[in-house]
Structure 1
Amino acid sequence: MKPIDAFYLKQEEPIQSCMMALRAIILKQDQNITTQLKYGLPFFCYKDKMFCYLWYHNKYRKPYIGFVEGHRFEETYLLQEKRKRMKIMLINSDEDLPIQNLNHILKQALDLYRNGIIRVKE
């Protein structure tokens, strides 16, 4: 078993199902997205450039998706907390995923890379 697969499988329910659904949604956004375990958590890269990751917020007791270039976004559902660059989107694992917000912010994040605002390998 790959370490990244073990990461998902060791999560308790409903966190495990939530994170696996988020992984599927992220990977479905673009064929150039890959995933790997970095710093002990699943990171998603666009053409080898990190753009988002999944983790669990201990204070709020919720999983979240973190956006590496989150400081560029003004959506009210994103939290910056004490981070300079990244913002996170908390996910309530006991409710339906906010698909519209997820697709919107993932598209915005990917467009930074696709449009050359964030340089990637060609």
Structure 2
Amino acid sequence: MKPVDEYFINQKEPYQSILLYVRSIIINTLPEVEEKYSYKIPFYNIDKKPMVYLNILKGKDYVDVAFVQGVLLENDFPILRNDNNRKQVRSIQLKTIEDLDYQNFIELLKKATHLLGKSNKAWFL
């Protein structure tokens, strides 16, 4: 079994269901995405550049769906939050599956892919 699969299997509910749901949307929306296991969490890369990662932050009660270039997306997608005062990353915090607006998330994924494709590197700050 791959480490990324073990990550999902080892999560407690409701986090496991939320993570698997978000994972399926990412993979089904972006067939070119590469799922990697880095820094002990799942990353989703486009052209070898990290675009989004999934995490459960210690002491928090939600799944953090974090966009590496989120600072460039937050004006168009107000659901993105600057949690923990991060310079570049913005994220969606999900306590339940119902917290995710499916259509808006797909638009966000496509826009993030487009932006990342125009960038030389994912981390710019």
Richer in helix (by share): 2
Superposed CA deviations along residues 46-100 of structure 1, whole A, max 9, x for unmatched, are 1211100001144541002100000102122111131001001111225363202
SS across alignment from 1:95: helix
Alignment-mate amino acid for residue 106 of structure 1: L
Alignment-mate amino acid for residue 29 of structure 1: T
Q: What is the rounded CA distance, in whole Å, between the counterparts of 2:88 and 2:115 in structure 1?
A: 14
Query: How far does residue 107 in structure 1 lie from its aligned partner after superposition?
Result: 1.3
Aligned pair count?
Answer: 118
Q: What is the rounded CA distance, in whole Å, between the counterparts of 1:94 and 1:111 in structure 2?
A: 26
Partners of 2:69 and 2:116 within 8 A in 1:
no
Range that drifts further, 40-49 or 94-103: 94-103
**Aligned match of 1:103:** 106
Q: What is the rounded CA distance, in whole Å, between the counterparts of 1:86 and 1:78 in structure 2?
A: 9
User: Higher RCO, 1 or 2 (CA under 8 Å, sep at least 6)?
Assistant: 2
Alignment-mate amino acid for residue 77 of structure 1: I
CA root-mean-square deviation: 1.7
Gaps of at least 5 residues in structure 2 are none
Q: Percent identity?
A: 28
Q: Do structure 1's residue 67 and structure 2's residue 67 form an aligned pair?
A: yes
Gaps of at least 5 residues in structure 1 are none
